[in-house]
Structure formats: C-alpha cells, structure tokens
A = this chain, B = another copy of it.
Amino acid sequence: MDPRFQNIVDKMRERQFRITPQRLAVLKILLATKAHPSAENIYEEVKKTFPTMSLATVYKTANLLREMGEISELALKDGSSRFDGNPRPHPHVVCARCKTIIDFDDLSLDSMTAEVARKTGFTISTHRLDFFGLCPLCQKAQST
C-alpha cells in the first residue's frame, strides 16, 4: 500500500473534505499508476467497479487533489491533460504519436537529451522547459 494514501486521506479529513468512495477510487488510481492517465482513462477505470461514476466527478476530484498539492497536471498540445500522482516537477518523455508519457528522473540539461534517448529508446526531436511563477507586476498585485 502506498504510504501517501493514508496521509492524503488524513489531510482531506483535516480540511473537512468528505471522504467519498469516488474520491478514494480516483486517488488510488493516481497513486498506483505510472501511466499519466487522462480524465477519461481514470473514468473508465473507476467505472469498472463503480458503474455510477461520472466524468465530472473525476475532474472535480483531480482538481481538488491538484489544489491540495498532491498530484500534478500535464497539458498536452491537443488541449487535453494528463494527471500524475507525483506532484513535484520532473522531466517527462512524451511520444509525439501515441502520447505515451514516461518519467525521466535525472538532471543536467545539456547531456540530458542524449541520455534520455539512450535510456528510453525514444528518438527525441524536441523538448520543452518552462518555469512558472509570478512576474514582478503580479507579485505586487498579489499583495493588495
């Protein structure tokens, strides 16, 4: 059993969010998989054992967990998102064709592309590196 599971459920209880079977099912999937599932993927998976599950609830639960800082979200170019049980930023390798996404936990950008290719078998054609935060103007606006 993932040690984070109980911890996250405790945090939910502390913040007075209700512990529903739908939320537990979504959380379990996100902690168990390395597949970076879409909302639709999660929905189909939960529906197997929970036929009344709705896609809207998947989104609501995923957004809740993201706001709590327990999972992360990856926006793809096609406008859809994938969810990741690991909330910390880390490199991903994304197949341009089948959209398979795998983690790559290693550092040093210059040599990294070659190493990614060697270790994953991907042919790397491009990468994306973004930093997110607040610009100076928004830092001021924030504190008003």
A interface with B by C-beta (< 8 Å) = 73-79, 81, 89-98, 100, 104, 107-110, 112-113, 116-117, 120-139, 141-142
- Which residues of chain B have C-beta atoms less than 8 A from A116's C-beta? 131
Asked whether A134 lies within 8 Å of B79 as measured between CB atoms, the reply is no
Contact A130 to B81, CB < 8 A, known contacts A107-B109, A120-B135: no
- Which residues of chain B have C-beta atoms less than 8 A from A129's C-beta? 89-92, 109, 127-130
Closest to A120 in B: B135
Contact A131 to B136, CB < 8 A, known contacts A75-B75, A110-B107: no
Contact A131 to B73, CB < 8 A, known contacts A110-B108, A136-B121, A139-B123: no
Q: How many copies does the complex hold?
A: 2
Asked whether B131 lies within 8 Å of A123 as measured between CB atoms, the reply is no
* Chain B: minimal CB distance from A73 (Å): 6
Asked whether A95 lies within 8 Å of B135 as measured between CB atoms, the reply is yes
Contact A77 to B75, CB < 8 A, known contacts A117-B133, A138-B98, A141-B97: yes
Asked whether A79 lies within 8 Å of B77 as measured between CB atoms, the reply is no
- Which residues of chain B have C-beta atoms less than 8 A from A92's C-beta? 129-131
- Which residues of chain B have C-beta atoms less than 8 A from A131's C-beta? 91-94, 104, 112-113, 116, 122, 124, 126-128
